[in-house]
Structure formats: structure tokens, C-alpha cells
Structure 1
Amino acid sequence: MLNLILFGPPGAGKGTQSEKIIAKYNLIHLSTGDLLRSEIQAGSALGLRAKTLMDKGILVPDEVVIGMIDNKLREHHDAAGFIFDGFPRTVTQAEALDALLATYQESISVMIALVVDDQELLTRLLNRGKTSGRPDDQNETLISKRIQEYNLKTTPVADYYDAQGKFIAVKGIGEIESIFEEITDTISQLTQA
């Protein structure tokens, strides 16, 4: 089973590349935002708990998110693999994810990080803001804060997987197809090993 974390700051191209990866490898996309919305819509116990917290402006605790991921793993036990999007964002979440996967005799295969310099991210997000309608992509100060937040909080997660020999950095600047080719080369090396 191929279990992949696609990592990178806002504007790195994760959405574009994850769609291509999902299509090529027939992976199940696990986006924590999507999971939260679908569990709330389904009215599940975890969804109701998450909604109560979110309505109070409280972040959904890791154990709730892990529970939702566990539901998806059970639901798709025969999947070719999973691509994790937006999770883990902290070392604590990475440890919880590893523990959960271990209960299924699985593990993260690789974390692929799209590396893009801050100035390029700023340019991309401002351009995306012209068409996306997202206010957080239209404010340069807010974008800089998001990038800084990513750099501060998620770098330890990359270090965590690097210590396991599961971290690969891919240059996220260039043609979409060239970046995708580098990602698939990385995945091919894993699956042949």
C-alpha cells in the first residue's frame, strides 16, 4: 500500500499535484478539511463533536481528526493507498498518524515536500487571489503570515519523517508536468525497493 503525505506551504502546488498523483496511483484523498465537513454533514458522533467545537471557535482536537482518518481507513481497507493532505501539521499529529497506521500494519511510505521560495509563493497566491475569490489569497501581509506559520510549525514534521528516511524534497518551481515526473520518479523508486 502506498501512503503518501504531500507537503508544502500554501501556493506550492499541492492541489494540482495531488490530483495527478491520485489519478495515476488510484489513491484515496484524505483531506482533513473535507473529512471534517463530510462527518459533520453525515451527522456522525465525531462530526457532531467537531461541529460543537468549531461553532465555539475551538480547534478540533487531534484525537477527533485521527478518529475521522481511522473511519476512512476502515471504509477503504482495500485501497491502493492514501494521500494525506493537510495532515499531519505537527509532530504530535505525525506520531498519532503513525500509531494509527501501525494498527493496520501500515505506515507512511514517503513524505514528498514541494519546495518553493517565499517570494514565488507570494506571487502565486496573489495571482490565485485574483480569480479564487479567497480573501486570504489577496492580502500580502496575510499571505506572508501564512507562509511564516507554515515554516515555523511544519518544519519539525519534515524533520520527523526525515529521521525515518521517508522525506523527499521536490523542487516545486517549473512546469507542472516536470514536477509531476519528479514525484512519480520518487514514487517509482519506492515501489521498486
Structure 2
Amino acid sequence: MNIVLFGPPGAGKGTQAKELAKHYNIPHISTGDILRANVREGTKLGMKAKEYMDKGELVPDEVLIGIIRDRLQQPDCKNGYMLDGYPRTLPQAEALKEILEKIGKPLEVVLNIDVPDDELIDRLSGRRMCSCGESYHLIFNLPLKEGTCDSCGGKLYQRDDDKEEVVRQRLEVYAAKTKPLIDYYSDRGILVNIDGTGSVEDVFRQICDVLDPYRK
């Protein structure tokens, strides 16, 4: 099965991607991860990408799509793949479509984990961190003592990007960037919206109901 996975910050996309990759024995391909791997391994495309990254510039689409093309032709993609973090724009979606057709691995389904903004704000703005690495939540995972880490006794804090006004801005940016892609894949008849408001298990079951018919 050949999948693209969309989901706003806080929708649980990372958790679902990890479980789906294991369940269906397909690689979870994060564009950030494969970009860093190519740079680390010193591939030709990786070195080209590094030139831009070292200057603080965005890696051009033609370099990124080349890296993705090479990754999708690796042996572990024989049963399919799950792309995460790509495409982000309509030109990228068109470039991806051409590449996938050339290598005989066209997209079969695009999953969009949908959660109302108010719930996403509650999920993200309720998170509290400790410098020791432990994390808590004001609704889902309270510490035993308010404001204090159970593990080390340290003072809990809220990350700047978890503050409500920042979360709202992140969601607005995500919606603006993603809506054209949602419409693009909806028009092609391969978009499936997943209700992401339930438990992790409920959302996973919904996704499996959609993906099982595509199992190879």
C-alpha cells in the first residue's frame, strides 16, 4: 500500500505512523529523516542538499524529490510506503505524482487525520515539560504534585511553542498550507478523512478499516 499521511500538530500523526508502519510492515518515510540520512551518508543528492542547508536555505524541490525517489526504490518499500511531511505544496504534489508513476508506485490513499482546532489547542497548550525529559499534561497526564515532576522533583514548564497563541498560529499556518493539498487529493478521489478525536486505539482501528483493502 502506498500512502501519504497528513495531520495537524497535536493530531497524533507520529503515534499512528509508528504503529501503522509496524502493523503493515511498510516503512514510515519522514522527509526530514531521509534528508538528514543522505547528508550523513554523503550521497550525491545529500551533498547537494547540504549546500543549501549550510546557507540556511530551503532544499530545492528537485533535490528533495530526487532523494525521495531513491528512498522509495529501496527493498523495504516492496510492500509499500507511508510518506510523512511530503508533499507540502501543490508543485511538490505534482512532482511526486510524476516520480511515483515512473517508478510504478502510484499513491493509493491519502489519509488526513482531522481534529477540531479547539481540541488541538487543548492537547498542545496543556503539555508541561521537565528539564529531565519527562512530560505531563494538565488533562491527560497530571503529575502527582501540581507543577512538579514525579521523577526528579523539578519544576515543570510550558514550552514557548505550546503556548495557546503560538499553537493557534501554528494551526493557521498548517491549514493554509495543507488545504490546497487536501482539495487536490480529494479531487483525485484518494483522500480519506479520519476522525482523530477518539482514543489512539479508536483512530488506529479507523485507519486500518481504510487500509486493509489495500494490503498486499
TM, length-normalised to structure 2:
0.82
Tell which has more relative contact order, 1 or 2 (C-alpha 8 A, sep 6+): 1
Compared with structure 1, are the counterparts of its residues 48 and 78 closer, same or farther at alpha carbon in structure 2 (3 Å cutoff)? closer
Q: In structure 2, what is the equivalent of residue 49 of structure 1? A: 48
1:22 is the counterpart of 2:21: yes
Unaligned runs of 5+ in 1: none
1:138 is the counterpart of 2:158: no
Deviation at 1:155, TM superposition (A): 0.8
Q: In structure 2, what is the equivalent of residue 171 of structure 1? A: 195
1:8-87 pair list within 5 angstroms: 8-76=7-75, 79-87=78-86
Query: 1:9 and 1:107 mapped to 2: Cα distance?
Result: 24
Partner amino acid, structure 1, of 2:185: Y
Q: Which has the higher helix share?
A: 1
Deviation at 1:120, TM superposition (A): 1.2
Unaligned runs of 5+ in 2: 130-134, 137-156
Q: 1:28·1:79 contact (CA, 8 Å) conserved in 2? A: no
Which 4+ runs in 1 deviate beyond 3 A? 132-137, 189-192
Partner amino acid, structure 2, of 1:182: Q
Q: 1:5·1:85 contact (CA, 8 Å) conserved in 2? A: yes
Q: Secondary structure at the match of 2:73?
A: helix
Q: Secondary structure at the match of 2:126?
A: helix
Percent identity, aligned pairs only? 41
Q: In structure 2, what is the equivalent of residue 154 of structure 1? A: 178
Q: How many residues align?
A: 191
1:103-114 pair list within 5 angstroms: 103-114=102-113
Query: 2:177 and 2:77 mapped to 1: Cα distance?
Result: 33
Question: Computing the radius of gyration over CA atoms, which structure comes out larger, 1 or 2?
Answer: 2
RMSD of Structure 2 on Structure 1 (CA): 2.0
TM, length-normalised to structure 1:
0.91
Deviation at 1:137, TM superposition (A): 3.5
Q: 1:129·1:137 contact (CA, 8 Å) conserved in 2? A: no
Q: In structure 2, what is the equivalent of residue 94 of structure 1? A: 93
